[in-house]
């Protein structure tokens, strides 16, 4: 019993140490950044400073409808992310169940995965229009292929002995899929979620660079156009915060799935 209590205390101390170390690194980085900028060791026009970024974010909130821009980016990210996960999951199941189909489409998946999706931007805009739909489509193209390949590889890495055991008991393909393939691939699916959320956010920002009149990507481009790099740096900081929150959301989903 004592060993268990000691182990739990050790875990708590370790978690506290990790959290304190992370917080210390962040604070030290911000203080160093502020001092370097204030004493012109780094160019404050290009790199801004934490105090200027806070002031700029406040100004964006009061005068530039910052909340509306954040909600726009979040909406586009969540829609593209949700569609990407659902479609990649369904397509991966189809490819896993029908191996002949996978062999046919495999080279095309590889080619599409290696294609820089931003090159399709002008074509997407012409076909769909300069609106949120084209941004969501671009983000979907970026996360979909990666999601399909990750989930499919997870399905393929299941222990063959377990599959043979299910066959021995004459389990149907549906039973094998629902009771073995998917549960055994939870970790891969979660890893795909973590990767897809970052890929989706990248796709949304790329789309907003091209066509949007709203969103964090638009604010960054606007700041570049008027040579106000404080807006650019503020947009980057906001994106970091958004990506952190979305990542934590995926971690929460992971805990629920594992349970």
Angle between helices 229-258 and 50-63 (to 10 degrees): 90
Cα distance between the two ends of the chain: 25
Report d(CA 206, CA 220) in Å as an integer: 11
Torsion of CA 182, 186, 187, 191, to 10 degrees: 90
Cβ atoms < 10 Å from Cβ of 5: 9
Contacts of 221 (CB under 8 A, 6+ apart): 208, 209
Q: Where are the domains of the chain?
A: 1-42, 49-258
DSSP string, 122-143: HHHHHHH-SSHHHHHHHHHHHH
Flag residues of the chain having pLDDT under 50. 1
Contacts of 162 (CB under 8 A, 6+ apart): 180, 184
Looking at domain 49-258, which of 1.10.3720.10, 3.20.20.70, 3.30.70.260, 3.40.50.720 is its CATH number? 1.10.3720.10
Q: What tokens appear for 243 in the block? A: 């990506």
Q: What's the angle, vertex CA 40, arms to CA 38 and CA 42, rounded to 5?
A: 105
| Residue pair 137/210 in contact by the 8 Å Cβ criterion | no
Report d(CA 125, CA 222) in Å as an integer: 20
Report d(CA 37, CA 155) in Å as an integer: 51
pLDDT of residue 259: 64
Max Cα separation, the chain?
A: 74
């Amino acid at each position: 019993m004592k060993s268990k209590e000691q182990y739990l205390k050790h875990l708590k101390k370790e978690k506290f140490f990790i959290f304190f170390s992370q917080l210390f690194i962040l604070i030290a980085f911000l203080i160093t950044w502020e001092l370097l900028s204030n004493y012109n060791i780094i160019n404050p026009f290009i790199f801004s400073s934490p105090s200027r970024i806070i002031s700029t974010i406040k100004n964006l909130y009061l005068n530039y409808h910052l909340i509306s821009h954040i909600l726009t980016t979040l909406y586009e990210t969540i829609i593209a992310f949700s569609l990407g996960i659902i479609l990649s999951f369904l397509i991966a199941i189809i490819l896993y169940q029908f191996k002949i189909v996978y062999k046919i489409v495999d080279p095309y998946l590889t080619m599409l995965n290696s294609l820089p999706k931003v090159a399709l931007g002008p074509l997407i805009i012409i076909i769909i229009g300069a609106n949120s739909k084209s941004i969501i489509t671009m983000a979907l193209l970026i996360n979909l292929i990666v999601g399909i390949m990750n989930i499919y590889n997870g399905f393929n890495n299941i222990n063959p002995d377990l599959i043979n055991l299910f066959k021995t008991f004459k389990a149907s393909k549906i039973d094998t899929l629902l009771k073995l393939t998917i549960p055994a691939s939870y970790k891969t699916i979660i890893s795909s979620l973590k990767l897809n959320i970052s890929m989706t956010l990248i796709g949304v920002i790329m789309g907003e660079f091209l066509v949007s009149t709203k969103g964090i990507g638009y604010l960054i481009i606007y700041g570049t156009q008027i040579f106000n790099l404080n807006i650019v740096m503020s947009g980057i900081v906001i994106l970091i915060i958004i990506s952190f929150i979305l990542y934590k959301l995926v971690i929460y989903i992971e805990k629920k799935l594992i349970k």
